[in-house]
Structure 1
């Protein structure tokens, strides 16, 4: 990305065609001494004209640099949108609690949720310092009483605990709020991840908004297979309210996920978790600093698109220079 923006490249391969104010004419007039001497490029953004003086070798050098940069960003995008990062984005906090609210998940969906959470634990939680798991239920269930240091043993223990959980019917509307409050009560926690499966009941929504609004740490929300648009809107509002007063940057990440179960064999238990983004995917963020997957994704594609335009321009200029050299 070093000196590869359009303005930076133009300043290195030519100079701006200047205008000056002529008093007798009462208007800006461009100089004409360079007309016909150099290939020219007019910027669409502001209409400024550049006289291009670079040699063919320099033009081709920038083409190679731009193509290399685009390839690096493509690789980065593939990484950011693969595996567990599709579910939780990139977990950046060093001490987190994941609150599990399985809602009215069917048995097969319950297993898919545990597949997804196991993936997050193995791929991302192993990279943080401390973590804990809390399940919203009639009788609140905690993997550990407080956030626990990450190690190979503790992550395996958490995965085992996760798969020993029983499938239950929907909990009371107060249980989700109790689980979030319990997660935020740990003073070491930097952020809470609220993993909500399906739709959030109406009587639960207002209670969650009230309890989270004065929370001491950010609440990131992940929506798994919500059926109603109102659920996504609610989780967006919940994340905006769930901001810690001692944190300057509050990351909000809401993702609507599609799941697909495919047969991988003849046995009934054979299944594979597949992820895809549904049409109309909506991702919200409240921070102006692009750190979550949603914002990084948008930033990468915006940069790649602008870089492609610059590359297209450079290729066009190289063609003009090639013609002028011949």
Structure 2
């Protein structure tokens, strides 16, 4: 047996991304991104007036009933068989809708363009730092990074995530700061600083020197973030928590504190859950352990109490991730509405075509019968054959 004279730290056995320790490659960003909820309010189907009901509303009429004195009875409105269809409205009522195939064809093309815009947004959110952190929408940002002992075997992934956010989404901010927390709390600067190239490079070197250990004392880290925030500045300051598990504090205690603090400050708390998989036999056991779904549920509630957004990714390097930025309800509602509107458009046009076709067939059949009658009326009558001349009564008497 051979005895190793020195122990190799587990972190030295990790696989590090290429050029991990090199200086940051800063990317210029010339616009401030919007939260997806706000983006949908400005770019969604209703905002663009692409709801099928908005398109059909000018040509939709409610069925009417009125008493006609001259007829002495109640008369109901009827459909124009060649151009109108009955259509169920969003409130459950039935409307008589004038179907314009050209209008509905243009509408279907606009729906296709809206889908491509939405898909482009989803692809953009699923790349680089946005698939890990989501979008940083505030002009002042504080990053809370979980460096507990539970993450000691995932240093490479966490540092890579911080590197991406510093390179890609921090250059257009007004102020920023970094706070790392385990059992104790460390911060890059006592106050928020401007994201100059020197400050960003210095912050990256500070991240590389962090030592991982302890539990997850999130309440102390959040208190430190409040101290960094300058109340006199009338700008929102977004706090972005990057963690892989539950904090030390109980859900109700921490949630009540976060809700109280964020209600008096423009300081939303956004939660970015980094899913690192199940703990192995050699992995440190966290103070509070829960299943991935239970962890996500509690942290989602924490983001709701903090008036922020919840983002969940499963790996910062691989492609197996779950982008929660748009929200499952928004994605589902958008595509369900788009599919429903497209199908209803097609059904309206096809129903009108079928009715027109039946009407044309009836006209053709009626026309054929009328032409047969006309031909029979216009056909010359046959003259009767010659008959022998009959003698009159006088000639018959004279003959005898």
- Say yes or no: TM over 0.5: yes
Q: Work out the CA distance in 2 between the residues paired with 1:15 and 1:177.
A: 57
Instruction: Pick from 171, 179, 200 the counterpart of residue 221 of structure 2.
Output: 179
CA apart distance, 1:35:
5.0
Residue 246 of structure 1 is matched in structure 2 by none
Choose from 213, 222, 231 the match for 2:295.
231
In the alignment, which of 325, 333, 339 is matched to residue 302 of structure 1? 333
Please state how far the C-alpha of 1:99 moved relative to its aligned partner: 1.2
Higher strand share: 1
| Separation of aligned partners in 2, 1:142 and 1:129 | 18
- The 3 A distance-change label for structure 1 pair 37 and 237 is closer
Distance apart, 1:96 and its partner CA: 1.4
Deviation at residue 69 of structure 1 after TM alignment: 1.6
Q: CA RMSD in A?
A: 3.3
- What's the CA shift for 1:210? 6.0
- Please tell me whether residue 6 in structure 1 is matched to residue 32 in structure 2: no
Deviations 1:56-111 (A, max 9, x none): 33332222122112211121222233332233222211111111122233444221
1:305/1:197 Cα in 2 relative to 1: closer, same or farther (>3 Å)? same
Q: Secondary structure at the match of 1:317?
A: helix
Equivalent pair of 2:83/2:352 in contact (CA under 8 Å): no
> TM-score of the superposition, structure 2-length normalised?
0.61
What is the alpha-carbon distance in structure 2 between the residues aligned to residue 93 and residue 74 of structure 1?
24
Seen in structure 2, the aligned counterparts of structure 1 residues 317 and 239 have a Cα distance that, compared at 3 Å, is closer
Contact 2:180 2:186 (C-alpha < 8 Å) held by counterparts: yes
Are 1:198 and 2:245 an aligned pair? yes
Local SS of the residue matching 2:315: strand
Which 5+ residue runs of structure 2 have no aligned equivalent? Answer: 1-44, 231-235, 277-289, 361-400
How many residue pairs get aligned? The number is 284
1:50 matches 2:96 = yes
What is the CA–CA distance in structure 1 between the aligned matches of 2:304 and 2:66, rounded to whole Å?
A: 51
Pairing partner for 1:214 from 255, 260, 284: 260
Q: Is the 8 A contact 1:102 1:198 kept in 2?
A: no
Secondary structure at the aligned position of 1:312 is classed as helix
Select which of 185, 200, 209 maps to 1:155. 200
Structure 1: runs of 5 or more not aligned: 243-249, 261-271, 284-292
What pairs up with 1:1-326 in 2 under 5 angstroms?
1=45, 2-12=48-58, 14-20=59-65, 30-32=76-78, 34=79, 36-43=81-88, 45=90, 46-54=92-100, 56-137=101-182, 139-166=184-211, 168-171=212-215, 175-188=217-230, 190-201=237-248, 208-209=254-255, 211-215=257-261, 216=265, 217-225=267-275, 228=291, 229-242=293-306, 250=307, 252-259=308-315, 272-277=317-322, 293-295=325-327, 298-322=329-353, 324=356
Q: 1:161 to 1:30 in 2, by over 3 A?
A: farther
- The two structures have a TM-score, normalised by structure 1, of 0.73
Deviation at 1:306?
A: 0.9
1:216-258 CA-partner distances (Å, limit 9, x unpaired): 432222222275244334334433444xxxxxxx3x2233432
Query: Distance between the aligned counterparts of 2:228 and 2:109, measured in 1?
Result: 51
